[in-house]
Amino acid sequence: MKAQPKSKKVNKAWLHDHINDPWVKLAQKEGYRARAAYKLKEIDEQLGLIRPGQVVVDLGSSPGAWSQYVRRRLAPAGAAAGALDGAMIALDLLPMEPIEGVTFIQGDFREDAVLERLQQAVQGRPVDVVVSDMAPNLSGVDSVDAARVEHLIELALDFAGQHLRPEGALVAKLFHGSGYSQLVQRFKDRFQVVKALKPKASRDRSAETFLVGLRLKDPR
């Protein structure tokens, strides 16, 4: 009998876990595009980051679960449709199905022209919260992957430093491993308060964690 390739076994195991995942089922029930919505929801509920009237920027937004969550937080009575009390701007390299009231920019955040489009969409308004679920394509080479993650985090920190209100917040995904402690220090250099959180909706075997920076330090 021919042995089944390992990759197929892994894919079947992942598919089985995904189908039976309670967060996946809850996302389907509540109309979210991905279980990731509950990662941001838990972080927000712990720290009280997102409120009506704010300007929020979502980096690495596709397929849109974080934007959906933020959009409901900005809408009267948490509605998934209708007028927003605030503004929501999302950006991703990949396409994203439209979300009512959310301005979406498709492009590479690492490119100056795309960053300029994002800045134009902000329209000079101070940003209350930046959320970043950006992650690079991983090569499997630790040093290369760490450099790619660090670059995206640096870009998110730079954008937050230029556009956040002094009391604003940045939520960013990163991974335990090479360069993790240096990235934590980068956050501590920029923010008065830094918290590392791993929400319940984040899979146990995943190395991802989320850093939250609160209240920018005086740049002077």
Instruction: Determine if the peptide bond prior to 166 is cis (ω within 30°).
Output: no
Give the angle 185-189-193 at the CA atoms, nearest 5°. 90
173 counts as catalytic: yes
Residue 23, annotated as binding a ligand: no
What's the rounded Cα separation, in Å, for the pair 197 and 105? 28
Scored b (16 or more CB within 10 A) or e, 53-80 reads: ebbbbbbbbbbbbbbbbbbbbbbeeeee
What's the rounded Cα separation, in Å, for the pair 87 and 103? 8
CB 50 within 8 A of CB 24: no
Residue 64, annotated as binding a ligand: yes
Residue 145, annotated as binding a ligand: no
When computed from its CA atoms, the radius of gyration of the chain, rounded to whole angstroms, is 18
Q: Which of 173, 188, 195, 198 does the annotation list as catalytic?
A: 173
Q: Which of 95, 97, 67, 72 is nearest to 82 (CA)?
A: 72
Q: Which helix (H) or strand (E) holds 8?
A: helix 6-19
Residue 133, annotated as binding a ligand: yes
Binding-site entries: 64, 66, 92, 108, 133
Q: Which residues are catalytic?
A: 173
Binding-site entries for S-adenosyl-L-methionine: 64, 66, 92, 108, 133
